[in-house]
Amino acid sequence: MKVVGLFAGIGGLESGLAEAGHEAVMLCEVWEPARAVLSHRYPNVPLEPDVVDLRAVPVEADLVVAGFPCQDLSQAGLTAGIAGRRSGLVGHVFRLLDERRVPWVVLENVSFMLHLDGGRGLRTLIEAFEERGYRWAYRIVNSLAFVPQRRERVLFVATTTDVDPADVLLCDEVTATQVETTLATHAHGFYWTEGVRGLGWAPDAVPTLKNGSTVGIASPPAILLPDGRVVTPDIRDAERLQGFSADWTAAAEAVGRPSLRWSLVGNAVTVPVATWLGSRLATPGRYDPDRDRDLSGDTRWPKAARGDGRRRLRVDIGPFPVWMHRPALDDFLKYEGKALSARATRGFLGRTQRSTLRFVPGFLDRIRAHLDRMEAIAPVPRVSLPRIAAVAAE
């Protein structure tokens, strides 16, 4: 298919689709650091600056893809909903479809959109597609099926063709391979910025890579290694955890601070997820209608559903379409991580004291041991009582 990538970011969807044989004919992205990456990685593909100003998609386009902004839908973001200033930009997708009814559309966003505001955002999308004569299917897919990162995202496929979108999105399912892990044999990822609630931790994987901040505040996870060290991964390994090659985002440093690369990576679509989807777009499977369940009594959107033009149906399917072999997280990492500082470690441990999160026995003991080592390397300065009094007087 000929692909138009809206809200293209650093090209996660487009790169994965290309690996499955599809070709980008136009990209659109407004953020300058992401545009720098796209210009470097796709030098021969026209790059439009802003979807708001885009009047039409190329006539040869078969597929429009849009990982539209998630800031207003994310549990960690503003949760303003589909009408939020950023996430509401998805309305321009439908404006462009009204100009030309492109036969295939793929949307991607955070799984929290199923629950936010009673699922109003997803309902808005479904109604907009149905009004335009599209059949649709959506499903939560976990990147853990492909890479050692626990990352659930909604994939939404809509089409006006004779192909059932369920044959693309809802015919592959496997049971995840459960690896028996211990703290002494496997790495465990967690967010040191949390500790009370949040994304929690992940055995032999990292929790969802976050987008950080558009002003350049990085938000990497921490990783407890089997030898007891606690590190934050190198940005090149973060890129690889999203399925990109190392230094995929290096071109962004020409237009912004290096830490912006964390935001670019955290916002991206995991490349092998898009490759799997692209392969099914090229060669659809056969949906099993025995997976259909009645949706009418549901008060919340399920994790997978479809609309066949007459009915909306819940679909009984899990988040793992495949399970790709990958090395253990400790072996996956290629670049030296940065030791988590004593201050960051101390803050995390303090928050766990009032936490509802649960960790396996020995996890927090290892974090405390890391803190002891870090404080031995750089002891906390002690200020004498006379000096404290002098400062107070000043």
Residue pair 196/351 in contact (Cβ under 8 Å)? The answer is yes
Cβ atoms within 10 Å of 309's Cβ, excluding its own: 10
Residue 88's pLDDT is: 56
CA–CA gap between residue 287 and residue 154 (Å, rounded): 19
Residue 24 region, left (φ>0) first, then alpha (ψ -120 to 50), else beta? beta
CA–CA gap between residue 17 and residue 1 (Å, rounded): 9
CA–CA gap between residue 115 and residue 154 (Å, rounded): 12
pTM across the whole model: 0.90
Residue pair 317/173 in contact (Cβ under 8 Å)? The answer is yes
Where are the alpha helices (H) located in 209-286, listed in sequence order?
235-241, 260-267, 271-282
Q: At 369, is the pLDDT very low, low, confident or very high (cuts 50, 70, 90)?
A: very high
Q: At 69, is the pLDDT very low, low, confident or very high (cuts 50, 70, 90)?
A: low
Residue pair 313/305 in contact (Cβ under 8 Å)? The answer is yes
Catalytically active residues, by annotation? 70
Dihedral angle at the C-alpha atoms of 118, 124, 130, 133, nearest 10 degrees?
A: -160
Mind listing the pLDDT tens digit for each residue in 6-48?
A: 999 999 999 999 999 999 999 999 999 999 999 999 999 999 9
Residue 29's pLDDT is: 97
3-state secondary structure of 230: strand
Confidence check: pLDDT of 76 > 50:
no
Task: Indicate the range of 50-64, 167-181, 213-227, 331-345 predicted with least confidence.
Answer: 213-227
C-alpha dihedral sign at 121, 127, 132, 137 = positive
What's the whole-number mean pLDDT along residues 179-193? 93
Looking only at Cα atoms, what is the longest distance across the chain? Answer: 82
What's the whole-number mean pLDDT along residues 260-280? 97
| Residue spans per domain, the chain | 2-177+268-315
CA–CA gap between residue 372 and residue 352 (Å, rounded): 17
Percent of the chain with pLDDT over 90: 74
* CA-angle at 35, arms to 193 and 80, nearest 5°: 50
Task: Indicate the range of 50-59, 109-118, 148-157 predicted with least confidence.
Answer: 109-118
CATH pick for 2-177+268-315 out of 2.60.40.10, 3.40.50.2300, 3.40.630.30, 3.40.50.150: 3.40.50.150
Residue 20 or 75, more confident: 20
Mind listing the pLDDT tens digit for each residue in 281-294?
A: 999 999 999 999 99
3-state secondary structure of 256: coil
What's the whole-number mean pLDDT along residues 378-386? 56
What's the whole-number mean pLDDT along residues 54-64? 96
3-state secondary structure of 335: coil
Residue 276's pLDDT is: 98
Residue pair 284/168 in contact (Cβ under 8 Å)? The answer is yes
CA–CA gap between residue 104 and residue 22 (Å, rounded): 13
- Mean model confidence pLDDT for the chain: 89
What's the whole-number mean pLDDT along residues 126-145? 96
Task: Indicate the range of 49-63, 103-117, 357-371, 379-393 predicted with least confidence.
Answer: 379-393
φ and ψ of 88, to 5 deg: -65, -10
Residue 299's pLDDT is: 79
Residue 208's pLDDT is: 94
3-state secondary structure of 394: coil
Residue pair 296/169 in contact (Cβ under 8 Å)? The answer is no
Residue 71's pLDDT is: 44
Residue 85's pLDDT is: 42
3-state secondary structure of 250: helix
Residue 79's pLDDT is: 37
C-alpha distances in Å from residue 26, one per residue of 44, 62, 100, 122, 286:
10, 12, 15, 26, 31
Beta strands (DSSP E) in 243-335 are 292-294, 304-307, 312-315
Tokens, residue 291: 């997976």
Residue 124's pLDDT is: 85
Question: For residues 114-132, b (16+ Cβ closer than 10 Å) or e, as one string?
Answer: bebbebebbebbbebbeee
